[in-house]
Structure 1
C-alpha cells in the first residue's frame, strides 16, 4: 500500500476521511455496536454539511442498519435505513479478537451492501494497524485504509 496522506489528531482523521468520500452518494459504516458507533458518528460529523446519506450497520446485521443524522447534539443514530450503499467504511473494532466477529460474515455483509452498485469503495478506519495485525488486508479488498495511532498521557494536577 502507498501512503497518500499524512496528518495528525482528530482534525487530520476527519480531513482524510472527507477527502476520500467526497464523491460518495451513500456511506454505510460497519462496526461493533457501542465501541465503533461513536467513531462512525465522529466521522459522519466531518461530512455533516454534504448531501451524502450516512448509515451504520452493527456487526454483520445489515437488516439492523440505522441512519446517522445531524441533531443539535451532533451526529447520532436515527431510524432504520436501507443498507445498500456505494461506500463502505469498515471500523477497526470489527477485527479485534475479543469481539469474535467472523471475517467471512463481514465479507458477506459487504456483498449485500454493494449488491446494487457497480463500483463500490471500501475504506478501513482503524487504530494502531488493527487490520494489518489481524490479517484482514488481503481477505478484505480495501481501496483505502486510514490508520491512526493513539498516544495517551494521564496527568495528575
Structure 2
C-alpha cells in the first residue's frame, strides 16, 4: 500500500480524516462499545456539519446518531446507518473482540447500500488492520494508521 500522506499527532489524524471524507454527506462509524466510541466522537468533531452515526460492533439495527452538544460530540437517538462513507475503527480488529473481518465487511456493505460513491476508511493504531490481515479481506479505500508514543514522567 502506498503512503499518500504523513502527519503527526491528533491534529494529523483529524486533518487526514477530514480530507478523505470531503463531499460525503453521511458518515457511519463502526467500532467496539466504549473503546472506539470516543474515537468516533473525536473524528466526528471535524465533520460535525454532516449526518453522523455510530454502530457498536455489528449491531446495524441499533445505530445511534452522533451530534454536537454543549459538552461536545455525543451519541444520540437511533438513526438510519446508511451512509456515503463507513469508517471501521481499529478496536474491531482486536482478537479478543471476536469480530471477523468478513462480518465487518458485510456490515460495511449494508451501510453503503444505495450509495453511488461509497468509501470504506479504516482508522487504527499500530497497524491493527494489517497485523490482523483485515486489509486482505476488506477493500479499504484508505487506512489511517497511527502509532502512539507514550511517556510517563515523574515530577
Q: Which runs of 5+ in 2 are unaligned?
A: none
Equivalence for 2:96: 98
Contact 2:41–2:66, Cα closer than 8 Å, also in 1: yes
Q: Residues of 1 paired with 2:21 and 2:115: CA distance? A: 16
Q: Which runs of 5+ in 1 are unaligned?
A: none
SS of residue matched to 2:77: strand
- Matched positions, count: 155
Equivalence for 2:8: 8
SS of residue matched to 1:70: strand
Q: Residues of 2 paired with 1:142 and 1:37: CA distance? A: 21
Q: Residues of 1 paired with 2:110 and 2:57: CA distance? A: 13
- TM-score normalized by structure 1? 0.96
Equivalence for 1:142: 140
Deviations 1:37-96 (A, max 9, x none): 000000001122x3x111100111110100000001111111111011110000000000
- TM-score normalized by structure 2? 0.97
Q: Residues of 1 paired with 2:127 and 2:152: CA distance? A: 23
SS of residue matched to 2:41: helix
Asked whether 1:29 is paired with 2:25, we answer: no
Contact 2:31–2:92, Cα closer than 8 Å, also in 1: yes
Asked whether 1:17 is paired with 2:25, we answer: no
Equivalence for 1:111: 109
Equivalence for 1:44: 44
Q: How much does 1:138 deviate?
A: 2.1
Equivalence for 2:73: 75
